[in-house]
Chains A and B, each alone.
Chain A
């Protein structure tokens, strides 16, 4: 395996692993404080039990997120020292702010998990909110740093180095707003719907179980609105890509010749050698309309760009299709569930809805992984769009396949253990009959 490929694989694997735990670290705290708040308001002890269990799940997931995040902060240098040497002074600011947000999250998670008997109820709930808010802020700052790689600003690149650095301007990169909101919504949608799916499954087996009912209601309140809003933000994000990263847009749409009134490709397989996309369903004018709000707008195709500037088209196109398809399905199921909740219908009467929720459970995470593939692989061959190529940034250290395999084995093992622990916890859900619950 060539070193560059090994380095990219290790980075992709590390990010792909960490993002799951990072998202849960944003979403779960919101679930646990909502459950605790309901307990404090209603005195219903089932909500207290939920807050305890969700807190416990958050604890191990946050711990794995914290250590895998540490690995990433080092890997930025271990794998891409040249990138960090140039980008550090420009984009280190949001990383530092993220450090403080993460610090706050760690402090108050400690207070929350171990402080049930030590502080007042009000202080305990406030600690939970502090965890939820600082988790969200961490995402904000880190995604700003990533957005800068897509639309770098706040410096001039002269003779292979950055001059006139302005870290504040770098943080104001045009890519940030949509990318940040897209990521935070993804965290709420994925976490909320995976928990909803688990308890929908519980209700399919025990429709009268009050524990699952309450858990499902809280989880949907976090996950469903985010899942409904997500396609709208995604659309904004795609429009940004159309303007700032036309090659990425062309790759994710598998759009080869430049065209006015370009069609939208659904599915299909891009043939890079032939420069065409086969077996796709084409929606006439769809791409021009979505990207530029004008059915006759010209959309630049891959063939108009040098071959050396193309990302791997098939991977990016496929990942984009997966994200859009599953994301749309999640939005649809969430909309139906919210509608039923708003009409105060008993969700357990609709077994088809519970089944659909079980089906959507893993989709948020799959979408997020696919979305990051679109963002990161779609930016290739650049590590800083238009400024520095990934191949220029990689470490001179040889034999990078070894750390790649070692860290992969470590994370696969860790992932299996976490999955087993969570499975054990879910399997031991209490059997609270609906009538005794209150």
Chain B
């Protein structure tokens, strides 16, 4: 570790974009989970609230993932190549989920009920798109988590370097592990937790707000269980991550903060301080992502690709950093405007 150079700054930008994707895009997937699990007397209102919350912003939220991919292949090309080769199968499946989720949601929003077709064949097709949207919202985060788990586990060696080199050994075994699946599950419940907490703030009807408060509290409990399960599996299956997670630099402080944020989110939900709960939940998830990053620092893909070794030539990194600054000057005001327009009451009739 020799201080911060452009490579570390770009890696930091990738982490920031990934965090934004998890906090914003992740919650949109979580919304799909609650659409699938909608039940009770306010089933329809629950779905309507989810659609209203996601509608104007999901495409913008989705672009964070593209930013991550583009930064990765521009600035850490060998990392991108390694991930694309060894994670071909889960990434391709995840893409199918992304395609189905986005298109089905858009078909339902723009050609479903509320657009002149409350009953009849239009409404039936719309329910069909709703199911596609909701199921894809469940599958995609699991696959994303599986990929992250495989990276964290240090399982993605250069193809051909992993001994036998058979198809299963190279293209399946690295990601299809109990630990990988546990991280997939954790990603799913975290996204659902985020969505439920955000929806308590967005709901106007008190009864609907209570629906999502209860869901958020249940999800918070499940997050605890799954997180400890994943941690346990990591200690047993993947020693390097376990070590990083428990004894790495700053790890203890980070764990304490994550736990504190989690408890604060639960307490705020309990006492119905919904805005505070949203802040705490976002902090909790952010700290989990950063904890993972810290645990494997300075490796991008353990056990061999470090930030420094995998970095593109300096000129590319410096230009990209300038592009990020310039792009940010356009992007952030636009995003603030988008959220200001939609995350407040309509100005009136």
A: residues with CB less than 8 A from B are: 56, 59-60, 62-64, 66-71, 73-74, 76-78, 81-82, 84-90, 92-93, 95-100, 102-104, 106-111, 113-115, 117-119, 165-168, 395-399, 403, 406-407, 410, 414, 417, 421, 424-425
Contact = CB atoms under 8 A, between A and B. Distances in A.
A60 B111 contact: yes
B39 interface: no
A115 B67 contact: no
Interface string B65-85: 111011101110110111111
Given A78-B91, A165-B315, A104 B334 contact: yes
B316 A104 contact: no
A84 B84 contact: yes
Interface in B228-257: none
A165 B313 contact: yes
A71 B97 CA distance: 10
Contacts, number: 215
A431 B66 CA distance: 43
23 contacts: A60-B107, A63-B59, A64-B106, A78-B91, A81-B84, A84-B73, A84-B81, A85-B77, A88-B73, A92-B312, A93-B320, A95-B73, A96-B70, A96-B327, A104-B331, A106-B60, A106-B63, A110-B60, A110-B338, A397-B171, A406-B96, A421-B111, A424-B111
Interface in B126-147: none
A361 B342 CA distance: 37
B335 A102 contact: no
B323 interface: yes
Contact of B80 (A67, A88, A90): A88
Contacts of A102: 63, 66
Residues of A contacting B: mostly: helix
B208 interface: no
Nearest to B109: A59
B166 to A, nearest CB: 10
A92 B167 contact: no
Contacts of A114: 55-56, 342
B103 interface: yes
B260 interface: no
Nearest to A110: B56
B48 interface: no
Contact of B323 (A73, A81, A97, A417): A97
B39 to A, nearest CB: 27
Given A89-B77, A118-B341, 11 more contacts: A67-B98, A74-B69, A76-B73, A88-B74, A102-B63, A103-B63, A104-B331, A111-B341, A396-B85, A406-B96, A410-B96
Contact of B84 (A71, A74, A424): A74
Interface residues of B, number: 67
Closest 9 CB pairs of A and B: A92-B74, A77-B84, A63-B106, A89-B312, A100-B327, A88-B77, A81-B81, A110-B56, A106-B59
Given A93-B323, A118-B342, A99 B70 contact: yes
Given A85-B80, A395-B88, A70 B66 contact: yes
B338 A111 contact: yes
Residue of A71, A100, A111 contacting most chain B CB atoms (<10 Å): A100
B218 interface: no
Contacts of B59: 62-63, 66, 106, 109-110
A397 B327 CA distance: 35
B337 interface: yes
Given A78-B91, A106-B59, A88 B312 contact: yes
B49 interface: no
A107 B338 contact: yes
Given A89-B75, A108-B334, A410-B96, A167 B319 contact: yes
B273 interface: no
A106 B106 CA distance: 13
A333 B99 CA distance: 37
A103 B83 CA distance: 24
Nearest to B328: A100
A85 B82 CA distance: 9
Given A103-B60, A114-B56, A81 B80 contact: yes
Given A67-B102, A395-B88, A113 B56 contact: yes
Nearest to A428: B116
Contacts of A98: 70
A395 B103 contact: no
B330 interface: yes
Contact of B327 (A77, A97, A115): A97
Nearest to B58: A110
B81 A85 contact: yes
Given A85-B77, A114-B55, A96 B71 contact: yes
Contacts of B57: 110
B124 interface: no
B319 A56 contact: no
A115 B57 CA distance: 12
A423 to B, nearest CB: 11
B133 to A, nearest CB: 11
Interface string B329-348: 01100110110011000110
Contacts of A414: 99, 103
A64 B102 CA distance: 7
B105 A63 contact: yes
Given A84-B73, A410-B99, A395 B338 contact: no
Nearest to B82: A81
Interface string B6-24: 0000000000000000000
A82 B92 CA distance: 18
Contacts of B171: 397
B37 interface: no
B346 A118 contact: yes
Contacts of B95: 70-71, 74
B221 to A, nearest CB: 33
B204 interface: no
Contacts of A86: 77
A397 B85 contact: yes
B328 to A, nearest CB: 8
Contacts of B259: none
Contacts of A421: 107, 111
A114 B343 CA distance: 12
B338 A167 contact: no
Given A77-B80, A89-B316, A107 B69 contact: no
B110 interface: yes
Contacts of A92: 70, 73-75, 77, 312, 316, 320
B335 A107 contact: yes
Given A60-B107, A92-B70, A103 B92 contact: no
